[in-house]
Amino acid sequence: MFFQFPFSGGCRSDHFRPGCAQPQAPRPAPQAHALSLSVPTAPPAAAWNERTTPLVPVLHTTDPQPRPKVRWWMRRFDQLSRKVASMSSVEILFVGDSITEEWAESGEVIWRRHFSHRAINLGVGGDRTQNILWRLKNTPMECSGLRWAVVMAGTNNLGDSDSDADIFEGVAAIVYHLLDQCPSTRIILMGILPREPASFMGSIRRINEMLARLDNGTSVRYLDLGPQFISPDGSIPGALMPDSLHLSARGYQIWADALRPFLDAP
């Protein structure tokens, strides 16, 4: 099933020009896309957006788009598509970018302890909402037995010409697709985590306020870990986010602990 976007708005600046003024007036809600599931393997994650490829026109946040100029991305996509096609007894799907992908690296021990026997990780470093939607659209998935999908997306759209409302709409489109494709699966929608540069923090707060409104108490639950990743002085603790973006093992433990009340419930 699809839901109406609660609100929208924002500028659609030239995607080759950095920066975009914050929206002041609403704009029409985007079309919901009927998608499917898929994702790729990438080199180790590094700084933000280091794996993005702005050499091709970047579509709106709700328009599915692959990353054809990145060969490893298509290989990763093929690998994860095969993994999804062969999955059995999977209860949990993790969907996102490098923060999700690195459950297999910095979060490996925690992943093995809590999730490896019942979950699939479809995180791909550098992916914007457009790329995640394309992967979902191009990998059909059997949803029987899939209880939860954990979605963390949007951080790689920051710093582009996307407005706060654009980014919200892109993340919401991922949620709506999963609900449409897997009606009996519930969504845990993660807020965008704090990160550097500090100039992004205002957008993160505003986007998360919009995302929180998607929580309907049943099929979509919103979970914001942001306060746990901010020190009293407003800085990001290096022990939790060594590069002020990606998580350490301690950071993944915080995430796992926050998910358990949902995932372990009958």
**CB contact at 8 A, 134 and 190:** no
- Name beta bridge partners: 122: 95
Q: Respond yes or no on whether the N-terminal peptide bond of residue 197 is cis (omega within 30° of 0).
A: yes
Phi, psi dihedral angles at 213 (to 5 degrees): -75, -10
Backbone angles phi, psi at 208, to 5 degrees: -65, -35
The reply to whether 246 belongs to the active site is yes
Closest-CA residue to 174 (of 164, 162, 185, 187)? 187
63, 180, 224, 243: the catalytic one is 243
Active-site residue identified among 38, 98, 161, 244: 98
Query: Given 33, 114, 177, 246, which residue is catalytic?
Result: 246
Query: In this structure, what is the dihedral angle of CA atoms 253, 77, 212, 12, given to the nearest 10 degrees?
Result: 140
What is the spatial distance between Cα 52 and Cα 125, in angstroms, rounded to a whole number? 9
Concerning whether 78 is annotated as a catalytic residue, the answer is no
Judge whether 243 counts as a catalytic residue.
yes
Catalytic positions are 98, 243, 246
